[in-house]
Amino acid sequence: MMMLNLTFTGLTPLPQVVFFLIFTGTFSILSAQWVATGTFLSALRWVQRQFPSFLFSIPAAAAIPLILSALTHRIWTGFTVGYFLVYVVAKADQVKYETALTHFIWSDLFKASDPGKFRELIGHYIRPAFFLPMLLGQLLGNGLLYLVTGGIFLSGPGLSSERWPAVLTALAGVSLLVLFWRYGHWVQYPGIRKWLRLPVLSSQDYNQNVRLHGTWLAFFAHIHLVATDQDTPEAYTPEMAGLIQSRLKTYAPPTALTSAGQRTTQMSNPAQPTIIVLAVEALWDITRIPGLEFSADPLQALRADYAGDVTASCFAGLTANSEFEFLTGMSLALLHDSACPFIKITHPLPALPAHLRQLGYQTTAIHSYTRTFYDRDKVYPLLGFEQFIGLEELTAQGHARQKGWYMADEALLEPILAQLHQNEKPQFIYTLTMQNHGPYAPQRYAPDEIEPQACPLFPANLNLSEGDQRAVINYTQGVRDAARLYQNLCQHLEQIERPVLLLAFGDHLPGIGEHSGYRIMVDAGLAASPQDPALYQVPVFYRANQAAQKIGLPANLALDRTGQGQWPGFNLLGAKLLAAAGLPLTELQHLVLELDQVEQVNQATEKNASNLSREDLLKTYEWIQYDWLWGQGYTLPQ
């Protein structure tokens, strides 16, 4: 076999480096776009449509390979590692989007400080199909490199006594890495973008970034975008803070002085009911999928308590975003696409638990997973929780009975009741479950853990694979177990003579399917597309025990659609809960409620209770959220 060996053709190290850069970058980016678009022909079409982005992707993909080749003096090591990184980003992006309708981004690497997050990804989502194409690509790419370069394959630039080729190669790689590390910054300048003929980079539409810039450049771009989750509002000044403060004072509840001289909010309901919240992992009404026939309704225990739906900001993941909206009253709609503000909270916020704590409540969070998942061990205290009981404590207390891959939902009944009966002081008990977390793979449960009622009749028109059918069954079993927890808890609450309110909701829809999280729902006609609002609407359930109803608290909680027919977001739910409990709302919750009332009647310019237009209310809301999360905290309560 004839072999073109560049080492013996008289070529200097510079052409060797240039050839390696072009080959490695081109091969890696074409492979990545093949993964992203589904076919090699589609990848070529992307190259044709977005040729400038393709050209800039090549040196971005070759930066790390150049550095490694210079350090190891082997081009095969640089190509192998570089190709691996580009492929994994593209494949992880594809898997995540198919599963949860969100892309794999830079901030995903920092959403948990514990190894459980990565164990979950590796153990549940990454299967042989993930790596097999990559191995084939490695064999093909390294084989081509060996055929073309021969000896350089094993002895790259700089192996000789002259070290300057290796140094220059490493400097070139570092320069490219630094340049594209800041890609999301310099590509924002219109002049540079026009000169280089690059498309617009969006902070609000990551789908567009992937489509126009490709998976690798979009991933690099988000390194910059993730540093700024919300744009600075207009007139973000101390002077504007005074105006915002005056607007907030229109919502301020009456206050009084305690014996210690501290200001405290007066209670509108002296009974102060205990409030229990069940944030149930992926709780959703599976019977909404047309054609599925169940012998028993999985949600039968909750049907009578249905209060309506809320709109989640995410699909099949990002539980912390739903928590953020519910607990703080803030909105993901005001933030950049793919933001996860929960893990960036670094100072105390006037959130729901902090507010209830000021009203004299004992605040407790219970989660049947590791304490450090989404940095909850750091964030919960900043939101006002006095204590946090995680999987570690539940295990030590003997409560962590497992079902499937995670702690059983029903096993949470005992720790909830133990906390409830700890004292007579009004409590806020916020419980986050884990059992029904996806994926719903065939090996999820043992055969004796699946009840016959969890197995529906599948209509032929759904055309579900065996894996998809098993995913539906596994998910339904989790719903049934969560419903039993709710039912058993309700039975215990009716035996308690003090008022207790129970609120339960799902954090997002489940990503059900063998290879996709949403296609079952689209194919069944539940949703018209992956962007359909139906894929983001989760049910809410509310129960007031007899003791609560005796003191005049409402037996039902009604959530209303907006004037456009949309359900409200999680940011409204905390305010609705406090209103049902007869407790004073925070100033921000008043603002959110007023915005919701404006949306319900579809008022664009008319004035309302605070004499502000809808536009002014939104600007005030946006200003406060920026100030509290990322700004100077001018309007944070002292």
* pLDDT tens track for 293-317: 999 999 999 999 999 999 999 998 8
Residue 548 pLDDT more than 90?
Answer: yes
Task: Give the pLDDT score at 2.
Answer: 38
What Cα–Cα distance (Å) separates residue 433 from each residue in 356, 484, 547? Answer: 22, 13, 26
Helix%, strand%, coil% for the chain, nearest 5: 55, 10, 40
Task: Give the pLDDT score at 12.
Answer: 54
Longest dimension (CA), the chain: 94
Residue 560 backbone class (left: φ over 0; alpha: ψ -120 to 50; beta: rest): beta
Task: Give the pLDDT score at 97.
Answer: 87
Task: Give the pLDDT score at 259.
Answer: 30
The answer to whether 107 and 227 have CB atoms below 8 angstroms apart is no
What's phi and psi for 540, nearest 5 deg? Answer: -125, 140
Task: Give the pLDDT score at 614.
Answer: 85
Task: Give the pLDDT score at 124.
Answer: 53
Separation of alpha carbons 163 and 266, rounded Å: 76
Categorize the per-residue pLDDT at 11 as very low, low, confident or very high, splitting at 50, 70 and 90. very low
Lowest mean pLDDT among 36-45, 230-239, 427-436: 230-239
Separation of alpha carbons 227 and 207, rounded Å: 19
For the segment 493-513, the average pLDDT, to the nearest whole number, is 95
Between residues 30 and 115, which one has the greater pLDDT? Answer: 30
Burial 273-289 (b: 16+ CB within 10 A, else e): bbbbbbbbbbbbbbeeb
Task: Give the pLDDT score at 254.
Answer: 46
Length of the chain, in residues: 638
Helix 75-100 and helix 13-37, axial crossing angle in degrees, nearest 10: 20
Task: Give the pLDDT score at 112.
Answer: 53
Separation of alpha carbons 74 and 17, rounded Å: 12
For the segment 370-385, the average pLDDT, to the nearest whole number, is 94
Lowest mean pLDDT among 191-200, 232-241, 567-576, 603-612: 603-612
Residue 127 pLDDT more than 80?
Answer: no
Residue among 119, 131, 49 at smallest CA distance from 95: 131
Categorize the per-residue pLDDT at 340 as very low, low, confident or very high, splitting at 50, 70 and 90. confident
Task: Give the pLDDT score at 115.
Answer: 52
Residue range(s) occupied by CATH 3.40.720.10 in the chain: 276-325+337-545+569-575
What is the amino acid identity at position 177? Answer: L
Residue among 185, 159, 179, 172 at smallest CA distance from 24: 172
Q: What is the mean pLDDT of the chain?
A: 86
What CATH topology corresponds to 276-325+337-545+569-575?
Alkaline Phosphatase, subunit A (3.40.720)
pTM: 0.86
| Cα angle 46-51-52, degrees, rounded to a multiple of 5 | 135
Task: Give the pLDDT score at 496.
Answer: 93
Lowest mean pLDDT among 252-261, 272-281, 411-420, 607-616: 252-261
